[in-house]
Amino acid sequence: MDYRALGLKVGLEIHQQLATRKLFCACTSALVDTPGGQRFRRRLRPTQSELGEVDAAAIEEAKRRLTFVYEATPNSCLVEADEEPPHLPNTEALDIALEIALLLNAKPASEVDFMRKIVIDGSNTAGFQRSALVALDGSLETNGKRIGVPTILLEEDAARKLGETEGEVVYRLDRLGIPLVEIATTPNIETPEEARDVAFAFGSLLRATQKVLRGIGTIREDVNVSIEGGARIEIKGVQELRLIATFVEKEVERQRMLLAVAAELRRRGVRTVPSVVQDLTPTFRDTQSKVVASAIKEGGVVLGWTLPGFADLLKGKLGPELAAHARIAGVAGIFHSDELPGYGIAPSEVDAVRTALQTGPGDAFVLVAEDDGKARAAIEEMIPRATAAIEGVPPETREPRRDGTTVYSRPLPGKARMYPETDVPPIRVTRERLDRIREHLPERPEVTVARLARDYAIHEQQARQLVQEGVDELFEMIAREFGETKLVATVLLYTFGELRRENLNVDNIPVDHLRELFSLLKAGRFAKEAIPDVLREMARGGVRATGAVANLGVKGLTREELETIVDAVLRESEDLIAARGEAAEKALMGRVMERVRGRADGKLVSEVLHARLESRVRPKEKKGKKGKR
């Protein structure tokens, strides 16, 4: 797809957790699996910002009328519960933010002032997030292109959402207050792959400081996507950087679909969406649809809403968009005419609905089977969304899904959500402080790439990949200890990649277990061909390398044992050897390797096979003709 012709623009907002204690208290920045037992509840409502406006996103969150439940953990205190004012900002965290700013050639602010940013989804107990501008106007060069960094912020992370039940959202406080550096890029990224590469480049730079947290969820990206004629969509909190290209591709697809739908609606002369709602409950008294029947049984209703001119534009198009808006009102799902009859709703019921709503073949309709209040609220939510479809793409925030798709979460937050934090004094950033940080700047990723390629005699492309995937430190540790640098690089890049595609969590294998793997290999306890199997076993069973090798029954063959196997294969392959002579070697190699499966090194097998084959084919000839054909 020609993304440049589509006018694709992508900008990233990178959030990286710092490896220090929390920003406004001395608690440790670690996630906890078991809560400390204490729970408390809060409700939040939107307030006016400094400018006297109330943010649209905040209003919409408030409409969900949720109660927020917070789980305290052993590493949370009264600051996180918003029962105690914030302590002075963590100086180490500010130093790291400034260090990152200098690495990005940004201009540090002379004074750091914390602001409160209204957050009403409950992820902050206080109802706001503290955030401070640290530097302006930086940039990062990647693939020969300059990506601008207009702002670098230091802020506190939000509480960790554990789940949502009807009317209630549960958060754990362990993540709340972990220092985050937020880096916003200019939107001059032009393809999905470039978006992923830029994300990786920033990730490498952040890791170069060795002062950031590592692992899934420690870096999260908001991906802003728009195409010509479309609108800015913010995909919020992407954790899996490898998926960024997919998210962008799918969002481009979605915006193109919405633009095509809008063009078709205008072609059909659709200008408005009526808000007339009809109660169709009597039509469904004897319905076979389980969903509808149970809604009615619980005292609910079936409401019908007509979308004139929308026929065939719902299924796989506007349908999912409307359903996402209905969910805001607490409705699990909707039925629409493009997929009816279906879901137990009979053709006769569809005809009755069409008659009651007076719809023609060009019209669509939506049914909501729910409690009356909720069903009406759901349609109220869907009307503006359907109306926006006539224009094209409504700007909004979307939530990433694991499969690379996204789902509507709320309108884009506006500017009306900042006001000064009066509990935290401003901090002057002195020249001395900046000089001290500047003196100890870490090796930049591009320098690391060149050094790895040179010092370990690996290909520069491999070195770059090691840095990009964040395994360069691991590589250096293992390569320094065991040598075999090319093999180590191959395992960390390709074998790991292969196993990840099998959904195995190789990234969770402890470093010590990996060192053990290579030390067993070096000791000849198994052959390098068995590495993928051993790693697979380690990742799957959570066992150490010794255990994995024992489980698999792979142990290194002695030369004598290998010779016995080779001779057996040669005996079984007499016809082949008779027909093709030494040319049979390649085929024979495959047969032997299959038999020794990971118990002998390929090079050794080849050597033994060559010698045994030669003595069999030309037993009377003298040695020394090796290699001549």
Binding site for Zn ion (CB under 5 A): 25, 27, 77, 79-80
**Six token digits for residue 487:** 């093999």
- Smallest separation, CB 73 to Zn ion (Å): 10
Tell me the CA distances in angstroms from 256 to 6, 32, 253, 266, one per residue in order. Answer: 9, 42, 5, 15
Judged by beta carbon, residue 77 or residue 617, the one nearer Zn ion is 77
The CA-based dihedral angle spanning residues 140, 99, 445, 488, taken in that order and rounded to the nearest 10 degrees? -140
Helix residue spans in 511-584 (DSSP H):
511-522, 531-541, 545-552, 559-572, 574-580
- Smallest separation, CB 497 to Zn ion (Å): 39
Judged by beta carbon, residue 158 or residue 471, the one nearer Zn ion is 158
Judged by beta carbon, residue 70 or residue 202, the one nearer Zn ion is 70
Judged by beta carbon, residue 27 or residue 98, the one nearer Zn ion is 27
User: What is the enclosing helix (H) or strand (E) of 370?
Assistant: strand 364-370
Half-sphere exposure of 37 (CA within 13 A, CB side): 0
Judged by beta carbon, residue 25 or residue 531, the one nearer Zn ion is 25
Judged by beta carbon, residue 127 or residue 556, the one nearer Zn ion is 127
CB-based contact 143:197 (threshold 8 Å): yes
41 CB-contact burial (10 Å; exposed 0-12 / middle 13-18 / buried 19+): exposed
Q: Show Cβ contacts of residue 485 under 8 Å, excluding neighbours closer than 6 positions.
A: 456, 457, 458, 479
- Smallest separation, CB 80 to Zn ion (Å): 5
CB-based contact 403:332 (threshold 8 Å): no
The Cα 326–Cα 329 span in angstroms is 6
CB-based contact 46:58 (threshold 8 Å): yes
Beta pairing partners, 409: none
- Smallest separation, CB 294 to Zn ion (Å): 46
- Smallest separation, CB 453 to Zn ion (Å): 44
- Smallest separation, CB 213 to Zn ion (Å): 17
Judged by beta carbon, residue 156 or residue 197, the one nearer Zn ion is 156
Judged by beta carbon, residue 79 or residue 589, the one nearer Zn ion is 79
- Smallest separation, CB 70 to Zn ion (Å): 13
Judged by beta carbon, residue 19 or residue 27, the one nearer Zn ion is 27
The Cα 116–Cα 419 span in angstroms is 5
**What DSSP string runs through 12-72?**
EEEEEEBSSS-SSSS------SS--S-EEEE-------TTS---HHHHHHHHT--EEEEE-
- Smallest separation, CB 423 to Zn ion (Å): 15
- Smallest separation, CB 422 to Zn ion (Å): 20
Residue with tokens 């040695």: 623
The Cα 72–Cα 488 span in angstroms is 42
DSSP-derived letter for residue 285 is T
- Smallest separation, CB 399 to Zn ion (Å): 28
- Smallest separation, CB 74 to Zn ion (Å): 11
Sheet (strand 335-336) strand order: 277-279, 301-307, 364-370, 335-336
332 CB-contact burial (10 Å; exposed 0-12 / middle 13-18 / buried 19+): middle
Judged by beta carbon, residue 27 or residue 318, the one nearer Zn ion is 27
Judged by beta carbon, residue 80 or residue 472, the one nearer Zn ion is 80
- Smallest separation, CB 232 to Zn ion (Å): 35
**3-class secondary structure, 408:** strand
Half-sphere exposure of 268 (CA within 13 A, CB side): 19
Residue with tokens 């390929």: 602
Judged by beta carbon, residue 71 or residue 338, the one nearer Zn ion is 71
